Amino acid sequence: MANKPIGIEVSLAVAEAVKLCDTDVVAAYPITPQTHIVEHLSELVADGHLDAAYIPVESEHSAMSSCIGSSAAGARTFTATSSQGLALMNEMIYIAPVLRTPIVLAVANRALSAPINIWNDHSDIMSVRDAGWIAVFAENGQEALDLTIMSFRIGEHPEVRLPVSMNIDGFTLSHFIEPILIPEKSQVDAFLPPFETDIKLDLKNPMSMGLLGSPETYTEVKKATDDILLGSQKIIEQVFAEFEKVFGRKYNPVETYRHEDAETIILTMGSISETAMTAVDEMREKGRKVGLVRIRLWRPLPVKQLQAALGKAETVAVVDRHVVMGVPEGPVALEVKSLLYGTPNAPKVCNFILGLGGRDVRRADFKYIAERAQALAKDGQNRFEIVGVYE
């Protein structure tokens, strides 16, 4: 099995990864397009393939609340959600990192209402970008499975102990059947030790978790959480390296494609990056110096790697899948501008909003934004565009 990929729906592969990790507790509530993950998990539990408690909670708010309780009790804990579900979890999303509960959350990214829309963009996860979670974005099915396994390893690391969101594009990735290598259980066991923590609800060593933070301590708690999240990048890179040793697949916080001599770099996250690579190839064939940079690790933001990957270009065309209302800039562009600001010969940054609410993102879109970025960069004024709006 281990040396031969099988055709499997990406959602099911994520569930298989959760099984291979010997997850103890799954608490989840159905929402499209995440449902196939938890449906398969409940099958695995029902058939005795996964020895876990499956808590069929009555809302996403209770899903994350139960996950916090479960993780605080020392159990390896998983849940999945999308869109409105993540929005309903929001209050809990901010609490989990500070309680140091290394929950793994698969988000099948979907647009936020209104209007209600079940299709893909990144507005759900962007609404919780400041909460203190580690966040990774998968490009394809193999990566979704691999990152799920790595998310447990990273989150549960003694120097991290933070929750991790593993993002897959709803439908355009979650519902695709792809050739995926399902690892051997022995490989996963070699890579992922059992979850051990001394920060837990333990009768033998009782501790109080979730105490009130007064003005004298609140700032320190926030600083400590931020320090841990920022410091986690080192561990994440170590885990990527360990993963390569066991499984032979190499992962980086930031991936690049034909970017070395690129005048224009397209910056993406998630599954549209594969389409973007094809578009880059086609543009290269026509002599255009276009490259691609992809953010895999969104939180903590790999500032140095992004500076290095983008710094030599003339123009960066940042693709955002979410509109920050009231600001002429998407969330990724805002951060890319910030990290390039003040660097020598900083590239000009243009920002394109693509693929909202499931609007198809095509090769032609990447060709358009590569050209448009060069034009906008010269203009110096308006460098922001929501692409393909029917007027």
Partner 1 sequence: MRAADVPYEKITAKTFPKGQDSLASGHRACQGCGEVLALRLLLKALGTDFIAVSATGCMEVCTGTFPQSAWRMPWLHVAFENAAAVASGVESACHVLRKKGKLPDKRFPVVAVAGDGGTADIGLQALSGALERYHRDFIYVCLDNEAYMNTGIQRSSETPFGANTTTSPVGKDSQGQNTWKKNMPAIAAAHGIPYVATASPAFHLDMMNKIRRAAAIEGPAYIHVYAPCPTGWRMKPELAVESSRLVVNSKVFPLYEVLDGHYVMNRKVEKPIPVADYIKPQGRFRHLKQEDIEKIQQRVDLEYDKIVRLSEAFPV
Residues near partner 1 (CB under 8 A): 24-25, 27, 51-53, 55-59, 61-62, 65-75, 77, 91-92, 95, 99, 200-203, 206-214, 217
Please report how close the Cβ of residue 330 comes to partner 1 at its closest, in angstroms. Answer: 31
Query: Residue 246 in contact with residue 191, Cβ under 8 Å?
Result: yes
Please report how close the Cβ of residue 123 comes to partner 1 at its closest, in angstroms. Answer: 24
Please report how close the Cβ of residue 217 comes to partner 1 at its closest, in angstroms. Answer: 5
> Which residue lies nearer to partner 1 by CB, 95 or 118?
95
Q: Which residues of 6-26 are buried (b: 16+ CB within 10 A; e: fewer)?
A: eebbbbbbbbbbbbbbbbbbb
The helix (H) or strand (E) run that includes residue 177 is: strand 177-180
Please report how close the Cβ of residue 227 comes to partner 1 at its closest, in angstroms. Answer: 18
> Which residue lies nearer to partner 1 by CB, 58 or 285?
58
Is the preceding peptide bond at 179 cis, omega within 30 degrees of 0?
Answer: no
> Which residue lies nearer to partner 1 by CB, 5 or 210?
210
> Which residue lies nearer to partner 1 by CB, 97 or 270?
97
> Which residue lies nearer to partner 1 by CB, 18 or 272?
18
> Which residue lies nearer to partner 1 by CB, 51 or 260?
51
* Local structure of residue 169 (DSSP, 8 states): E
Please report how close the Cβ of residue 27 comes to partner 1 at its closest, in angstroms. Answer: 6
Output the CA–CA distances (angstroms, integers) from residue 236 to 241, 242, 320, in the order listed. Answer: 9, 10, 24
Those residues whose C-beta lies under 8 Å from the C-beta of residue 268, and which sit 6 or more positions away, are 276, 292, 293, 294, 295, 319
CB atoms within 10 A of CB 304: 12
- The position carrying tokens 């986690």 is 232
Please report how close the Cβ of residue 127 comes to partner 1 at its closest, in angstroms. Answer: 18
Output the CA–CA distances (angstroms, integers) from residue 244 to 49, 136, 253, 260, in the order listed. Answer: 27, 17, 14, 24
Taking the C-alpha atoms of residue 269 and residue 189, their distance in angstroms, rounded to an integer, is 30
* Local structure of residue 112 (DSSP, 8 states): P
CB atoms within 10 A of CB 274: 16
Please report how close the Cβ of residue 311 comes to partner 1 at its closest, in angstroms. Answer: 43
> Which residue lies nearer to partner 1 by CB, 90 or 256?
90
Considering only the C-alpha atoms of the chain, give the largest distance between any 2 of them, rounded to a whole number of Å: 69
Taking the C-alpha atoms of residue 90 and residue 268, their distance in angstroms, rounded to an integer, is 25
Please report how close the Cβ of residue 211 comes to partner 1 at its closest, in angstroms. Answer: 4
> Which residue lies nearer to partner 1 by CB, 201 or 375?
201
Taking the C-alpha atoms of residue 370 and residue 372, their distance in angstroms, rounded to an integer, is 6
